[in-house]
Amino acid sequence: MKHLLKVLMIGFLISCSKSKKDSFLSISSQQISNKIISVNIDRIDLESNSLFGVGDSFLQNGKIYFLDRLNVQLLQFDANGKFEKAHITRGEGPSEIQRFESFTTDGDYKYFLSGYTLYEFDQKNELTSRTVLDFYHSSSMKEMESNPQPDDPGIYEVKYVNNEIFVRDGKFYIKIETSNPKLNFLMHDKYYQETANYGEFDLKTGRILRILGKKPPIYLNYKYIPHFDFYYHDITDEDIFISFEPDSLIYIADKDFNFKEAFGVSGKGMLQDYIQVNDLGDYDTYWRPNRTQKGFYRHVKYVPEDDLLFRTYTLGVADKTSFDYGDNPQRMQIYKEKVLIGDVEVPNYFKVIGKIGEYYYADGSGGNPDNEEIVVYKFKLD
C-alpha cells in the first residue's frame, strides 16, 4: 500500500482582534492509495403524498427531514423513508411561515431566515419570535459610502446564494458579503484579503455583534473569480471545518473562525482554468460557463464517531457548449483522521448529511435548480 506524506509550514496572516500578526498554519496532504475505490449508493424510496419540492434534506435524532422551499414546509420521515408528519407549513398560523431561504436547528428549536427576518419556532412548532437582523446600528452611513472599511459591520449584507446558518451559545451566525461599490468581489484585492465571511448576531435583538472569518490566499491568484466566492462548513463542539470552492485545502477553524490548520488533496482531473471577471457585465455572461464547465470543491461533512470527513467536488467538462449544471460530473473525497482514503464517483448534487446506524445518508436535491423531487441516498463504507 502506497503512502504519500507532505507536510508544509507556510507563513499565513491571521487576524487578531484589530491588529495583525504573523503566524503559521500547519498544512498536510496525506493519502492512502486505493483504500476505497467505489461506494454502493442506494436511493431511498420516500413514502409521502408530497414527494415534490425544491429544497434539501438533513438528519436529526435518527430522522430524515426535508426542507421544502417551494411549498414552504418541513417534512419528517423515518430512517427508511416512511412519512411521519409535517412540522411547519405555509401560512399565517402559529406553526406556519410565508417563505424562507435558510434553516437551522438548536436543540428542539427551529430557525428560518426569510430575507433579513429570523423566525424562531419552539418544540411545539409554534412561532415564538420574529427578529430583524440589524447590520447598521453602530455604523456611519457617511463612512460606509465614502470610505468603506472591512471591519465595519455596516458594509455587509446577507449572502443569499449557498448560505448556511447556525445557532451556537445563544448567538446566531450567517454568511455575509459586501457589494459596496468601493469594496467588492469584482474590483478589489482588499475584498479577498480583508473582508469577513460570517456575521454573529444577538438572537434577541438581531443586532450584529461581530464579523468573523477570512478567505484563504488562493483567491489572490486571480483577478477575479467572484463566481467561486462560496464556501461550505460543518460545525463540531470545538472546531469548524470549512471548504472554499477553488481551494483543495479543508480548513479547521476555531469558534471565532480563525484558521488553526488545514489538510487536503487535490481532486482528480479537475478543470480549474477559471474565467476571470472584473466587470459587472462579464459577471452575468460568464456565470454559467464557470459553474457548469469548471471544477470546484463543495460540501463538507464530518462524522465524529468515525473521525471521517466527506467532501464533494465537481470535475468540470471540456465541452465549451455545455451549459447544463447536471452535466458537470461530481466526485466525493473520504478522509479518515485527515488522510485521504477514497475518491469516488457520486451522483450530481450529492451531499453527505450524516449517519444513522450503519448507513451514511446524503441529500440529492439541494443545489439542483431543475429538480422538484425529494432525493435521499444511503451508503455504507466496507
Residue 340 vs residue 12, higher pLDDT: 340
Instruction: Show the cell assigned to 153.
Output: 459591520
Nearest 5°: the CA angle 14, 15, 18 is 160
Q: Tell me which of 14-23, 70-79, 294-303 is least confident.
A: 14-23
Residue 192 vs residue 127, higher pLDDT: 192
Q: Is the pLDDT of residue 372 over 80?
A: no
Confidence of residue 52 (pLDDT cuts 50, 70, 90): low
Residues in the chain: 382
| 117 close to 123: Cβ distance less than 8 angstroms | no
Chain centroid offset of residue 368 CA: 15
User: So where are the chain's domains?
Assistant: 3-379
Q: Tell me which of 16-20, 83-87, 255-259 is least confident.
A: 16-20
Helix or strand (DSSP H, E) at 301: strand 296-303
| 325 close to 340: Cβ distance less than 8 angstroms | no
Confidence of residue 54 (pLDDT cuts 50, 70, 90): confident
Q: State how far the alpha carbon of 224 is from the alpha carbons of 78, 142, 184, 190, 237, in Å.
A: 45, 28, 11, 12, 35
Give CA–CA dist 26/300, Å, rounded.
Answer: 20
**Quick one: DSSP state of residue 351?**
E
Domain covering 3-379 assigned CATH 3.30.465.10 in the classification: no
Q: Tell me which of 12-21, 150-159, 256-265 is least confident.
A: 12-21
At 13 the pLDDT is 31
| 41 close to 377: Cβ distance less than 8 angstroms | yes
Residue 250 exposed, middle or buried by CB count within 10 Å (0-12, 13-18, 19+): buried
In percent, how much of the chain has pLDDT > 90?
Answer: 75
Confidence of residue 368 (pLDDT cuts 50, 70, 90): confident
Q: Is the pLDDT of residue 15 over 60?
A: no
Confidence of residue 12 (pLDDT cuts 50, 70, 90): very low
pLDDT in tens, 254-312: 999 999 999 999 999 999 999 999 999 999 999 999 999 999 999 999 999 999 999 99
At 163 the pLDDT is 94
* Average confidence (pLDDT) over 332-343: 97
Give CA–CA dist 16/112, Å, rounded.
Answer: 32
Give CA–CA dist 327/345, Å, rounded.
Answer: 14
Confidence of residue 48 (pLDDT cuts 50, 70, 90): low
Q: Is the pLDDT of residue 244 over 50?
A: yes
Confidence of residue 129 (pLDDT cuts 50, 70, 90): very high
Q: Is the pLDDT of residue 173 over 90?
A: yes
Residue 58 exposed, middle or buried by CB count within 10 Å (0-12, 13-18, 19+): buried
* Average confidence (pLDDT) over 100-119: 93
Torsion of CA 265, 219, 298, 62, to 10 degrees: 100
The structure's pTM equals 0.91
Give CA–CA dist 211/213, Å, rounded.
Answer: 7
Mean per-residue pLDDT over the chain, rounded: 89
Q: Which residue has the cell 500500500?
A: 1
In percent, how much of the chain has pLDDT > 70?
Answer: 90
What residues are paired with 240 via a beta bridge? Answer: 235, 253
Residue 119 vs residue 51, higher pLDDT: 119
* Average confidence (pLDDT) over 218-234: 97
Confidence of residue 8 (pLDDT cuts 50, 70, 90): very low
At 95 the pLDDT is 62
At 367 the pLDDT is 77
Give CA–CA dist 330/41, Å, rounded.
Answer: 14
